[in-house]
Every structure is written in structure tokens, then in C-alpha cells.
Amino acid sequence: MNGVMENKSAIKDIMELNPCDNVVVALHPIKKGTMISEGELALNVINDIPQGHKIALCDLKKDEDVIKYGASIGHVTTDVKQGEWLHTHNVKTNLNDELEYSYEPELRTITYPKAAGTFQGYRRKNGKVGIRNDLFIVPTVGCVNGIAERIVELFKLNHPTIAPFDNITILKHPYGCSQLGNDHENTRKILADAVKHPNAGGVLVFGLGCENNTVDGFRELLGEVDPDRVKFLVAQKVEDEIITGANLLEEIYQAARKDHREEIPLAELKIGLKCGGSDGFSGITANPLLGMFSDFLISQGGSTVLTEVPEMFGAEQLLMARAENQEVFENIVDLINDFKHYFTNYGEPIYENPSPGNKEGGSRH
């Protein structure tokens, strides 16, 4: 095995991601019968291998772990020969229901020096910083989505360029009426977060008047807001909600006319990271780049946020090993297991997150 592993990374047909791996990644489609030779390695490819997919570096016995990126990504469901294609037909995830984890830190020193870096952002009255200057219409209930469109159309007749706003966005949703308990509260919290988002240079909160999520109650949930930038409208309390709504947008527009970008320290930048259509190359291209960017930004005092918990499944131990202390580790454990409960409570398997397109591209198992 040691001889097989030597100098494989120099071969242009395949890429070794970690010296401990027992698979390599095909950098382009490889035909059955292709002989790949490098140093002491002589790898006879015994299947057609799609681009981005995995090839076994050695014989694997049934239930033996598949090691990629230096970590287990699953196990083989049958005996596998060296040079064989590894994919969903013969590999299964090791994901299971709630697991017990132990804190085994592998902390890394970030070597990026502090820099006097800045970005161009919008400083809000409450001190928060946005990277865009958007005008939001936030319906308290889905019934007013269509009316909100009419309000925007009327406003744009007088402001075809909408500057200083970058976008006018109606946060359409079907909720706010006949919701109860936690379901109702979650809707309110999400909408409240949107109203207070620093990318919002102005907000019109728009309700019908008979919904569970009343504008008055929602206003109490919001607490203190900038009255020049956040306006409220209840359709049933005015004679013409379209004209009234357009007039309120005009008031917000006038308050925002002098908005401009300014230099903001990188320490105040927050970036959300989200899956963007992963394939077998994501783990060797975009993901490491974003990891390096995250290390850099965090070293400057900024933040990055992983926004999709299921994307962590199967690699959660690697994330837990980066936890700076026991408390952070336990928070990650709770995050992972709580989301697993979400799946299992509804009778759904936790390992079905990769989409057919993800799998076709070679990602996951």
C-alpha cells in the first residue's frame, strides 16, 4: 500500500487529496482499461470513470471505510478491486442517527497577519453595516403579496432607476394567517429579522388587517426601529392601500436619498456560505478556497457562517475538531443532533441530502 500511494498526485489523470486516502479523484472521464502509471503505482482502471468520481487505490473488503480528504466518507457495501469505480452503487454513508462525539481538538494556527483592510458598505443608524442598500416590502401575511406588487409598480413610475436603492424586494411568503404556536412564532421571527437586516435601507411592513400576524403585534415584536426607514401599512385601515403604500415608499426614498457607501473595517464583514451545486470538484476547488478566505477574514476579526446544517453531515467530526473549546464543541454537537432529530421525527432518512445532480457530479458517496 505504501508503494501504491507514492507520487500519485503528479499524475494528470487523477488527484490524490490526502496521503491517507484509499481513493483518488478522476480529473476527466477515464475509459475502462486505461493503465495509469506513476512511480511504483500501476493502476488499471476497470470501469469507465466519470469526471470528478472516485477510483479505488487498493482492494477494499466489504464494510471497509472509504477514505477521502483523510477522513472516512462512508464504507463499501461489497468487495471492491483496485481501479474500480466507487459511487452510490457500492458505497454507503456512515451517517446514522444521533451519535456520541468526543472532543479531540486539532486547532490550527492562522498565519494571516492583521491588515488595515476595508470594504465598501452602508453604515446604519444603529451601527450595523450592510453590503447592499435594498428596499424591502415585508408582508405580514401572504394575502397581500399581489397588492405589494402593485405598490411597487406605482412607485417605479416616478422612480424608474430606484437609486439610491440597489433593489426593491417583496419578501413574498404564504404564511401569517391561521398559524398557531411555534409555527406562527417562527414566521414572525424570520420576518422580524428581515426588517432589521442591515442590507435593508428601508422597509415597508404591509398587512391586510385580519391575519393572525397582526401589524400591531408584529410592531411590538420588532421593538425600536428607525421611523424614517421603517413604515407600517394595514390595507383595511386606509381607503386606497396602493396609493398609500406608494406614498410610504416615497417617504422612505426621501430619507435614503443621501445613502452612500463608505469604507468599513473588515472586522465588521459577515459572510454566509451556502451550497452552490456541489460536484466532485467542489472539495478540491471552491471549498478549500472558501476555507482559506474564512481563515483570512476571521483573522481580521470578521465572520463567516455555514448556513446549511445538512451540508455538515458526514464531516461534522472535522468541524468539531476545529472548535476552540469544549463549550463550542458541545454547541456543534447539539446543532448536528438537533437537525438529525428534525429528519427522524418526520420519518425521513438523514443521508438523502445530496441531490441527484450532486451525485451525478461525483460528490458525496
Q: How far apart are CA 363 and CA 54, in angstroms?
A: 9
Q: Quick one: pLDDT at residue 1?
A: 36
Q: Please answer whether residues 6 and 40 qualify as being in contact, where contact means their C-beta atoms are separated by less than 8 angstroms.
A: yes
pLDDT digits (tens, 9 = 90+) for 126-160: 999 999 999 999 999 999 999 999 999 999 999 98
Q: Quick one: pLDDT at residue 2?
A: 39
| Domain residue limits, the chain | 2-92, 134-258, 264-360
Q: Quick one: pLDDT at residue 342?
A: 86
Q: 2-92, which class in CATH?
A: mainly beta
pTM of the shown model:
0.80
In 3D space, the residue among 3, 40, 43 whose CA is nearest the CA of residue 14 turns out to be 43
- Three cell numbers written together for 169: 424586494
- Three cell numbers written together for 59: 482492494
- Three cell numbers written together for 14: 487523477
Output the CATH code of domain 134-258: 3.40.1400
Which amino acid would we find at residue 125?
Answer: K
Beta strands in the chain (DSSP E): 14-15, 23-26, 35-38, 41-44, 54-56, 65-68, 71-76, 85-86, 91-92, 118-123, 129-130, 134-139, 167-170, 200-207, 230-234, 262-265, 270-273, 303-306
Regions of the chain where pLDDT drops below 70: 1-11, 38-39, 97, 277, 351-365
Which ranges constitute the DSSP H helices of the chain?
2-5, 145-158, 181-195, 215-222, 241-256, 286-299, 316-321, 326-345, 356-360
Phi, psi (degrees; rounded to nearest 5) at 296: -65, -50
